[in-house]
Amino acid sequence: MRQYVTITGVALAMTIGAIQAKSQETRPVYADVSRPVEERVEDALARMTLKEKVALCHGQSMFSSAGVPRLGIPELKMSDGPHGVRAEIRWDSFAEAGWANDSCTAFPALTALAATFNPEMAYLYGKVIGEEARYRGKDVLLGPGANIYRTPLNGRNFEYMGEDPLLAATLVAPYVRGVQENGVAACVKHFALNNQECERSSINVLVSERAAREIYLPAFRAAVAGGAWAIMGAYNRAWGEFCCHNERLLTRVLKEEWGFDGAVISDWGGAHDTREAAGKGLDIEMGSRLPFSSYYLADSLLAAVRRGEIAESLVDEKARRVLRLIFRTAMSGERPWGSLATREHAAVARRVAEEGIALLKNERGALPIEAGKVKRVAVIGENATRSLTRGGGSSELKVKQEVSPLEGLRAYFGESVEVVHAAGYRSGEPRYDRELPPPGNADSLRAEAVALAATADAVIFVGGLNKNHRQDCEGADRLHLHLPFGQDALVEALAGVNPRVVVVLLSGNAVSMPWLRRVPAVVQAWYLGSEAGHAIASALGGSVNPSGKLPFSFPARLEDNAAHAYGEASYPGVDGAVTYAEGILVGYRWHDARGIRPLFPFGHGLSYTSFEYGKMTTDKRSYGSDEVIRARLLLRNKGRRAGAEVVQLYASLPRSGVERAVKELKAFAKVQLEAGETREVALEIPASSLAYWDEAEGSWKVEPGEYLLQAGSSSGDLRQRATVTIL
Ligand code: BGC
């Protein structure tokens, strides 16, 4: 019997071996995951018909493009992005499919991630959002957003990483890496110069090459250098051509100069012409128009190639890029399985949220609100209870859990503090195509809130913007800088009855604050996703010491923002074109150049402790062909709490031969220090990053000279300076 089993076992093993050998013999190269991707691509391409190649180049449903069924090559499944994995959408309409297993973790909006000034947070964020995408069967995550914050009216600023190119570039690459470690492509969007929603699908952006290179493109360049597998073309035009078929942006800069080997995916409906799309760099056309065969890169492309009007080599090139994307993702041999809405993911969402919250003002010991010191806290404001993961456009999420600020504060204080709430104002239901009238009577809502505030030891006002049309929402811009729904008057009224009003603003944009002098504390808390309430309560209550820094300037008035200083031509544009007249002077660069005092400067964020900057020294070292400037200083936490400081290093060339910003962020480091601890902080600036874009020569140029380096706690609070000479 024993022998029989053994013989059978051997026979079985031999049979399996023979089958495996046979299948290895016959397994085509493209399907062999042990072979290099480029070999697989060429092998697959050689087997495909023209029709099959064209099928790769356009959507087959709202969020997927075809594979090659005859060869067993799978389709590409895509999902928004960028703050969580969007609910399942129907095959041929934008409606939610109504699945019961697609609730995700909502991560903080990208402005909040940017406010952490912490690349480690960006990596963690990417890693876990990638895990969620993977678990949900997605191959391409439509994010992160890497457009620069040019005007506080842009409805989509919350999906981006602020006004500074170095900050956005430093955070985009680890996000991309984290996502792609899951075998899911990050699709960095919207390339490029997509800085307003007003007339977003047609506006023609006219910007100098220098401003494009120095301000608007570096984050995309960093994403490509960091290995991004996909890029989304923007809706708008740049220099006269639609960005989804823009020779200069897609072919010359992205593919030829930067060596991008991934696929360019159009924004949904962003392609407008077969010949243009075929010849100027688009690889996959996506959209929501039906039927899918009517896309510019579908039947009409096939017909044009058959008629000999478009070269088949153009189609081959697109098919190569799409196949590469498929082999890197859907048909990769090394994909983890992913996970969805786990405790670990919630913990990452909370960490990012806690690190991103920025304490803008804190006087008279208003914060933290410690349990033993107050008995009754009035929480006022609609945003204290409103779901802010809904609305906003394509980044809207269906979440497994969302802790509101009111819930978070109640959980934090428990029985020790009575937490009462009144809305104080109301806005309409979330809509992103029109404004709905707010329900309720504004006067009685305000009166009720003010009466409640008068009875409390402290007031926490939770307001800001929301994700409705003309707030922080895709498809339209804000109309002004101020807080909507009568909040300014409400805050004034609250301050009139209670000296201890803490204003917590949830938004992805700067707002004006006419009541600023009347309140002791202001906290910028963004859109923080699933764990919003817990993170906010921890920061207000003091178990977390705030360390977020503003990734964009808060101007005192709209006209203090560069885009609004040149009239309509510069925003929102006239006759279909918008001229970026401020050139390189975006954000704090503009304020510096014009001596404008912002309400809160770029990089600003307070702590419950304070930091002392020791003297800064510099030296230079050579790494290969590049010289690296190193700045060192001692940082001391001189308070009684542990806390983190973001040391920011700005560079200037006072005697430059060309127009320069007064200073530019060139390096930063987030440093965690125990109470009383001192640590040496070393920051490095490659000399090549001091270059400006020389338009005449079409290249980067480092001017020799004496550069001034200034280190500080924000762009408006510089503590140490040193000079360094570049020969
Ligand atoms: C947005 C993109 C988004 C796409 C798919 C477009 O309207 O601009 O950011 O990824 O829709 O939802």
Percent of the chain with pLDDT over 90: 93
Q: What is the pTM of this model?
A: 0.96
Ligand 1 close to Cβ of residue 189 (< 6 A): yes
How large is the average pLDDT for residues 566-585?
Answer: 98
Query: pLDDT digits over 256-270, tens only?
Result: 999 999 999 999 999
Mean pLDDT over residues 290-312, rounded? 98
Question: What pLDDT is recorded for position 1?
Answer: 37
CB 124 within 8 A of CB 178: yes
Residue 685 within a domain: yes
Residues 375 and 519 in one domain: yes
Cα 681 to chain center, whole Å? 27
Ligand 1 atom with minimal separation from the 187 CA: 10
In contact, 16 and 263? CB cutoff 8 Å: no
How far apart (Å, rounded) are the C-alpha atoms in residues 203 and 578?
Answer: 7
Compute the radius of gyration of the chain from its Cα atoms: 27
What is the mean pLDDT of the segment spanning 519-523? 98
Cα–Cα distances (Å) from 49 to 40, 52, 233, 462, 598, in that order, read: 16, 5, 27, 59, 60
Residue 394 Cβ contacting ligand 1 at under 6 Å: yes
Instruction: Please report whether residue 571 resides in a domain.
Output: no
- Ligand 1 atom nearest the C-alpha of 86 is 12
Residue 678 has what pLDDT?
Answer: 98
What pLDDT, on the 0 to 100 scale, is given for residue 20? 55
Query: Is the pLDDT score of 6 beyond 50?
Result: no
Token pair 């008629």 is at which residue?
307
pLDDT tens digit sequence for 412-450: 999 999 999 999 999 987 777 777 777 778 899 999 999
Please give the Cα distance from 609 to 495 (Å, whole number): 26
Q: For residues 615 and 546, state if they share a domain.
A: no
pLDDT band at 21 (very low <50, low <70, confident <90, very high): low
User: Residue 36 has which token pair?
Assistant: 């290099």
Is 196:578 a contact under the CB 8 Å cutoff? yes
396 in ligand 1 pocket by Cβ < 6 Å?
A: no
Residue 380 within any structural domain of the chain: yes
Domain span including residue 449: 357-550
Give Cα separations from 459 to 201, 289, 375, 377, 606 (angstroms).
Answer: 43, 49, 12, 6, 20
pLDDT of residue 24: 56
Q: Bridge partners of 421?
A: 379
Beta bridge partners of 680: 634
pLDDT at 431: 79
Residue 10: predicted pLDDT: 52
Question: Position of tokens 């320069």?
Answer: 660
Report how far residue 563's alpha carbon sits from residue 558's, in angstroms, rounded to the nearest whole number.
9
Q: Which of 550, 573, 589 is the last residue in one of the domains?
A: 550
Interacting residues of 318 by C-beta distance below 8 A, sequence separation 6+: 53, 56, 57, 263, 278, 282, 283, 284, 297
Instruction: Give residue 362's pLDDT.
Output: 98
CA-wise closest residue to 126 among 282, 317, 345: 345
Instruction: Give the pLDDT mean for 282-288.
Output: 98
Are residues 434 and 516 part of one domain?
A: yes
Instruction: Tell whether ligand 1 has an atom less than 6 A from the beta carbon of residue 132.
Output: no
Structure tokens at 348: 């990452």
159 CB less than 6 Å from ligand 1? no
CA dist., res. 231 & res. 260, Å (int): 9
Index of the ligand 1 atom closest to the CA of residue 143: 10
Distances (CA, A) of 32 to 19, 24, 44, 67, 185: 16, 8, 11, 16, 20
Examine the pLDDT at 22 and tell me if it is beyond 60. no
Q: At 708, give phi and psi (nearest 5°).
A: -100, 130
CATH of the domain at 658: 2.60.40.10
Rounded Cα–Cα distance for residues 345 and 335 (Å) = 19
Q: Which atom number of ligand 1 is nearest to the Cα of residue 142?
A: 10
* Closest C-alpha among 558, 226, 506 to residue 379: 506
Closest by Cα among 384, 518, 383, 493 to 443: 493
Distances (CA, A) of 424 to 97, 381, 512: 36, 5, 19
Strand partners, 502: 460, 521
Burial of 158 (0-12, 13-18, 19+ CB in 10 A): buried
The domain tally of the chain equals 2
- Residues 502 and 401 grouped into a single domain: yes
State how far the Cα of 83 lies from the Cα of 395, in Å rounded to an integer. Answer: 7
- Answer yes or no: do 373 and 498 share one domain: yes
517 and 433 assigned to the same domain: yes
How many other β-carbons are positioned within 10 Å of the β-carbon of residue 717? 12
**Residue 510 pLDDT > 50:** yes
End-of-domain residue from the set 504, 532, 550: 550
User: What does residue 717 show for φ and ψ, rounded to 5 degrees?
Assistant: -140, 80
For residues 41 and 324, is the Cβ–Cβ distance under 8 A?
yes
Which of 80, 164, 267, 477 is labelled catalytic?
267
CA 352 to chain centre: 13
Q: State the CATH number of the domain containing residue 541.
A: 3.40.50.1700
Q: Do 510 and 623 fall into the same domain? A: no
Measure the CA–CA gap between 247 and 520, rounded to whole angstroms.
Answer: 53
Reply yes or no on whether the pLDDT at 8 is more than 60.
no
Atom of ligand 1 nearest to the CA of 94: 12
How many angstroms is it from 508 CA to the middle of ligand 1? 18
Distance from C-alpha of 159 to C-alpha of 257, rounded to nearest angstrom: 27
* 361 plus 497 within the same structural domain: yes
Mark whether 534 and 676 lie in a shared domain.
Answer: no
- Ligand 1 centroid vs 472 CA: distance in angstroms? 15
One domain, residues 481 and 387: yes
Give distance in angstroms: CA of 392 to centre of ligand 1.
11
In the 8-state DSSP scheme, what is residue 597?
A: P
DSSP character string of 36-63: -HHHHHHHHHHH--HHHHHHTTBEEETT
pLDDT over 50 (residue 653): yes
As given in the structure block, the two tokens for residue 108 are 């903080």
Please report whether residue 687 resides in a domain.
Answer: yes
Considering the domain boundaries, does residue 125 fall inside one?
A: no
End-to-end Cα spacing for the chain: 86
Residue 345 forms part of a structural domain = no
Identify the residue whose C-alpha is closest to ligand 1 atom 12.
394
Looking at the CA of residue 81, tell me the nearest atom of ligand 1.
Answer: 10
Does residue 620 sit in the same domain as residue 720?
yes
Query: Which residue among 142, 289, 432 has the greatest number of ligand 1 atoms within 8 angstroms of its CB, and so is best to mutate?
Result: 142
pLDDT, tens digit (0-9, with 9 covering 90-100), for 116-159: 999 999 999 999 999 999 999 999 999 999 999 999 999 999 99
Does residue 514 share a domain with residue 433?
Answer: yes
CB 319 within 8 A of CB 305: no
Residue 274 lies in a domain: no
Q: Are 476 and 463 in contact (CB under 8 A)?
A: no
- Select from 532, 550, 568 the last residue of a domain: 550
Q: What is the pLDDT of residues 198-231, one digit of tens each?
A: 999 999 999 999 999 999 999 999 999 999 999 9
CA dist 661 and 702 (Å) reads 15
Is the C-beta atom of 268 inside 6 A of ligand 1?
Answer: yes
Torsion sign across C-alpha atoms 328, 329, 334, 336: positive
- Find out whether the beta carbon of 30 lies less than 6 Å from any atom of ligand 1: no
Give nearest CA residue, ligand 1 atom 4: 268
Q: Atom 6 of ligand 1 has which residue's CA nearest to it?
A: 268
pLDDT of residue 23 exceeding 80, the answer is: no
Taking alpha carbons only, the member of 380, 424, 426, 384 closest to residue 408 is: 384
User: What is d(CA 264, CA 255) in angstroms, rounded to the nearest whole number?
Assistant: 10
For residue 144, whether the previous peptide bond is cis, meaning omega lies within 30 degrees of 0, is yes
Q: Give the C-alpha separation, 470 to 473, whole Å.
A: 6
Is any atom of ligand 1 closer than 6 Å to the C-beta of 143? no
Asked whether 81 lines ligand 1 (CB < 6 A), one says yes
The reply to whether 283 belongs to the active site is no
Angle CA 471–472–476, to nearest 5: 70
Closest CA to 363 of 556, 518, 563: 518
The DSSP annotation for 94-133 comes to SSB---SS--BPPPPPHHHHHHHT-HHHHHHHHHHHHHHH
DSSP 8-state symbol, 186: E
> How are strands ordered across the β-sheet holding 263-265?
59-61, 64-65, 76-80, 140-142, 185-191, 230-233, 263-265
**Residue whose CA is at the smallest distance from ligand 1 atom 3:** 394
Cα separation, 54 vs 712, in Å, equals 54
Are the C-beta atoms of 198 and 151 separated by less than 8 Å?
no
In this prediction, residue 2 carries a pLDDT of: 42
Determine which residue's CA is closest to atom 11 belonging to ligand 1: 268
In angstroms, the CA 56 to CA 295 distance is: 12
- In the reported structure, the alpha carbon of residue 395 is separated from the centroid of ligand 1 by a whole-number distance in angstroms of 8
The answer to the question of residue 182 being in a domain is no
Residue 173 is predicted with a pLDDT of: 98
The 10s digit of each residue's pLDDT in 533-559 is: 999 999 999 999 999 999 999 999 999
Eight-class DSSP state of 248: I
